[in-house]
């Protein structure tokens, strides 16, 4: 077997052709990346998705798929939706705190204007 | 995602949405039947099938406890829809947008807190009596040093650790679909109604910079 197979073809135990759609994005030194993506999406689905994208956008697509796949492996119930929820909770908390602080400023300013000394 | 309110594996009323889409016999105990009804479930399953594949989703659901499968299906549908809308970034673009909002709010909060601190500073001792009688103005050196506490972003992109437990956190969908905090999400039927609302009218950022490259705050547009 060609020792220069990409991580995807190594995982799939197949020959890595010169025009392999996976090879630019799955170097042989990082086998876990493809393993994770294959587990969640499947090689065929990922191949189809990449084929439908312009070449210059495929690297970003692979990174986002890899991120989502990792999240799903770590949290099979919510995947990266759990992160979205976490962030939305943080936004709500910060907005509440911001509103409260602005109200305190208004009170402090009112006090200052009433007692200028 | 329209699903039956109570988990039911009965296929007496015809095939479930998944089996209808796959054009196969819906057997008793079909893993998809409780979550994809025969009417609109097929459309939602189509998205899931295109992105994940039926067998991958089946395996995923088999590894999830039964009482959690409804939530898992909703999140999978969410991700599938997001990926079809944005084939390059999927719901990562939504995450980046939210992160930027968090950073922006944290920065604003820091400045506002600093402003409040200046207003709450104790007044300086009265100056010696002068002809004018007015106290000396505060100097900039009197202001406290406050470092903006930016939200740490790096942990977000770390694989979620086991510290995320549903026992400690509210259910993600309570906030995902902007549910008011006073409302409570009971059974999965409410969750699915909310998921339905989201999937039909969700907001996804339109003009986001690629993740990790920074950029101006994105505008959120409503997509049909």
For B31-87, write each residue's pLDDT tens digit. Answer: 999 999 988 899 999 999 999 999 999 999 999 999 999 999 999 999 999 999 999
Task: Tell if the CB–CB gap between B157 and A67 is shorter than 8 Å.
Answer: yes
Task: Tell if the CB–CB gap between B176 and A81 is shorter than 8 Å.
Answer: yes
Domain membership of residue B151 (yes or no) is no
Candidates A52, A78, A111, partner chain B, best to mutate (most B CBs within 10 A): A78
In sign, the C-alpha dihedral spanning A47, A48, A49, A52 is positive
Residue B143: which pLDDT band, with cuts at 50, 70 and 90? very low
Partner residue opposite B51 with nearest CB, options A45, A60, A94: A45
Domain membership of residue B26 (yes or no) is yes
Same domain, B39 and B64: yes
User: Would you say B95 and A83 are in contact if contact means Cβ atoms under 8 Å apart?
Assistant: yes
The SS3 call for residue B35 is coil
Contacts of B104 in chain A (CB under 8 A): none
Structural domains in chain B (count): 2
User: Would you say B74 and A63 are in contact if contact means Cβ atoms under 8 Å apart?
Assistant: no
Domain membership of residue B94 (yes or no) is yes
Structure-token pair, residue A35:
């393993």
Can you give the residue ranges of every domain in chain A? 1-74, 78-116
> What residue numbers bound the domain in which B113 lies?
88-120
A 27-66 residues with CB < 8 A to B: 39-42, 44-45, 49, 52-53, 57, 60-61, 63-65
pTM of the model: 0.68
Q: Is B51 on the interface with A (CB under 8 A)?
A: yes
Same domain, B31 and B60: yes
Same domain, B78 and B25: yes
Q: What is the ipTM of this complex?
A: 0.88
Contacts of B76 in chain A (CB under 8 A): 79
Domain membership of residue B21 (yes or no) is yes
DSSP code string of A21-83? SSTTTS-TT-HHHHHHHHHHT-HHHHHHHHHTS-GGGHHHHHHHHHHHHHHHHH-TTTTTHHH
Q: Which residue of A has its CA nearest to B178?
A: A88
């Amino acid at each position: 077997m060609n020792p220069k197979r990409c991580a995807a073809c190594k995982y799939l135990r197949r020959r890595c052709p010169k025009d392999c759609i996976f090879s630019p994005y799955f170097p042989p030194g990082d086998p876990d990346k493809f393993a994770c993506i294959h587990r969640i999406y499947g090689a065929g689905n990922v191949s189809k998705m990449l084929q439908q994208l312009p070449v210059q956008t495929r690297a970003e697509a692979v990174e986002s798929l890899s991120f989502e796949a990792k999240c799903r492996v770590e949290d099979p119930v919510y995947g990266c939706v759990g992160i979205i929820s976490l962030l939305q909770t943080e936004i709500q908390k910060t907005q509440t705190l911001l509103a409260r602080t602005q109200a305190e400023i208004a009170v402090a300013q009112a006090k200052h204007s009433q007692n200028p000394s | 995602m329209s699903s039956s309110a109570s988990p039911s594996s009965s296929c007496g009323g015809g095939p479930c949405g998944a089996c209808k889409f796959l054009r196969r016999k819906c057997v008793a105990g079909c893993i998809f039947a409780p979550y994809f009804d025969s009417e609109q479930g097929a459309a939602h399953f189509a998205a899931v099938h295109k992105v994940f594949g039926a067998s991958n989703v089946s395996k995923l659901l088999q590894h999830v406890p039964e009482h959690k499968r409804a939530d898992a299906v909703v999140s999978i549908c969410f991700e599938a829809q997001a990926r079809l809308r944005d084939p390059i970034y999927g719901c990562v673009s939504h995450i980046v947008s939210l992160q930027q909002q968090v950073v922006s709010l944290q920065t604003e909060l820091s400045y506002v807190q600093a402003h409040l601190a200046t207003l709450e500073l104790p007044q300086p001792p009265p100056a010696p009596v002068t002809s004018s009688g007015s106290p000396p103005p505060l100097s900039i050196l009197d202001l406290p040093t406050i470092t903006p506490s930016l939200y740490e972003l790096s942990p977000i992109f770390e694989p979620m650790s086991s510290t995320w437990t549903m026992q400690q956190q509210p259910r993600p969908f309570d906030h995902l679909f902007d549910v008011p905090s006073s409302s409570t999400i009971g059974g999965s039927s409410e969750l699915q109604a909310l998921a339905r609302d989201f999937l039909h009218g969700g907001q996804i950022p339109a003009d986001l910079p690629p993740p990790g490259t920074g950029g101006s705050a994105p505008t959120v547009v409503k997509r049909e």
